[in-house]
Amino acid sequence: MNPVKITETALRDGHQSLIATRLTTDEILPILEKMDKAGYHALEVWGGATFDACLRFLNEDPWERLRLIRKAVRNTKLQMLLRGQNLLGYKHYADDVVEAFIKKSVENGIDIVRVFDALNDLRNLETSIRVIKEAGAHCQCAISYTTSKVHNLDYYVKLSKDMENLGADSICIKDMAGILTPNSAYELVSKLKEVLNIPIELHTHCTSGIASMAYLKAVEAGVDIIDTAISPFSEGTSQPPTESMVVTLKEGHRAPNLDVNILSEIADYFKPIREKYRENGTLNPKVMDVEPNTLTYQVPGGMLSNLLSQLKTQGASDKYEEVLKEIPRVREELGFPPLVTPLSQMVGTQAVFNILASERYKMVPKEIKEYVKGLYGASPVPISNEIKEKIIGNDEVITIRPADLLQPEMEKYKAEVGELATSLEDVLSYALFPQVAKKFLEGRLQKKSVALDEEKSSEAKSKPNNEEIHYITVTM
């Protein structure tokens, strides 16, 4: 018997996909002990957008969240999502920043690091893979799954084998848009099981309505681990529901070793929390819609919510369908990049600009210009000279590993953040999100200052009689 293992995503991708990563640490901590007893292979709790959201929207220290989760979870592995040389930000960082960040992530409690590059450019994963291994964590390399004239079965087999040769401990098929069809899942997993000597995990989204079917076919083909979300934070643009998948799989010969009763209790805990976010509008009903057109547009769930937000801000919500149709066109012109962070946001923004402006590529974000220059890595298909000229004119395109252009940055960040940082973790927060982290650290310092003043005031009030008597005695 080879039981299917389950990675629970509610504490990272589940709430990232459905409620814009707004779960607070206070909402997470009370249920962790129970989640730790359910029998999960791993809990995905960190990385992705959680880091940014903690600092930007929740006024929380993401590092402290990780430490508190680690303290509560003693039996189950903790997993994070890392964007290779991008870490958790939206640009490439120098190797010394990547090294420090990964080491601190593992030191603070991460067991499994799922690392990917938006372009599947392995040069952008080399440093991460090496450091994850050196830090003693499990290195799971993820292939950013997409389809195009170059993204076929042979492409993914070679990519996965190259990742294994670089040191990957397992491979994840990361289907961020939910476009992996059941038969394709069976074919891909079957082929990878033939050529790889390491476990295979499948991650998908329910956006297009085919995720659960893809999981069943993948399990049939021998996939080792699947990603699911506890039901209140499942479906829509999230993952298939944990309980439903476990009950279904328990009828087969690869029944997962999870306690269904505990899963039910976990779901009961999260139901009122989900309702709170539904009532305050954070859970946008549109992210729960099944959208088969995703199979054509290849738009990930998080990207859909970002597009809705951008268009609403511009007062152009009625342009939503037009933008969706523009995305595949932009993607093809930019060399078929997989639509995963940060490329999904970049391509989506360019599509919005193309629709809202009077002409296509009249407005081009700085990030798209850098991508076309090769600063994010090599595009899967060469970009035409015509599109290059529209976007970057006659600027040079680089062909080396982008991070080779970067000088060490840690000392610079330490100097910039100064005494606001009380740890290396604070410096790394600043390195990734300078303005947001600085505001957070200033707020924290102010709170400490107020607390210290109150403490001094309290001490002064508790001692007046002794001091007064002593003073009177002396003067007499």
Neighbours of 409 (CB within 10 A): 17
What is the Cα–Cα distance from 156 to 166, expressed in whole angstroms?
Answer: 15
- Exposed / middle / buried, residue 261 (Cβ in 10 Å: 0-12, 13-18, 19+): exposed
Neighbours of 239 (CB within 10 A): 32
Q: Which residues contact 167 (CB under 8 A, 6 or more apart)?
A: 129, 130, 133, 139
- pLDDT per residue over 39-52, tens digit each? 999 999 999 999 99
Are the CB atoms for 448 and 422 separated by under 8 Å? no
pLDDT at 344 (0 to 100)? 86
Are the CB atoms for 168 and 151 separated by under 8 Å? no
- pLDDT per residue over 151-190, tens digit each? 999 999 999 999 999 999 999 999 998 999 999 999 999 9
pLDDT along the chain (476 residues), means of 10: 95 96 98 98 97 97 98 98 94 96 98 97 98 98 94 97 98 95 98 98 96 98 98 96 98 96 98 97 89 78 72 87 91 93 88 91 95 95 95 94 96 97 98 97 89 65 45 30
- pLDDT per residue over 390-418, tens digit each? 999 999 999 999 999 999 999 999 999 99
- The H or E element that residue 246 is part of is helix 242-249
pLDDT at 305 (0 to 100)? 67
- The H or E element that residue 5 is part of is strand 5-8
What is the Cα–Cα distance from 179 to 145, expressed in whole angstroms?
Answer: 8
* Of 70, 121, 130, 125, nearest in space to 103 by CA: 130
The answer to whether the Cα torsion of 242, 246, 249, 251 is positive or negative is: negative
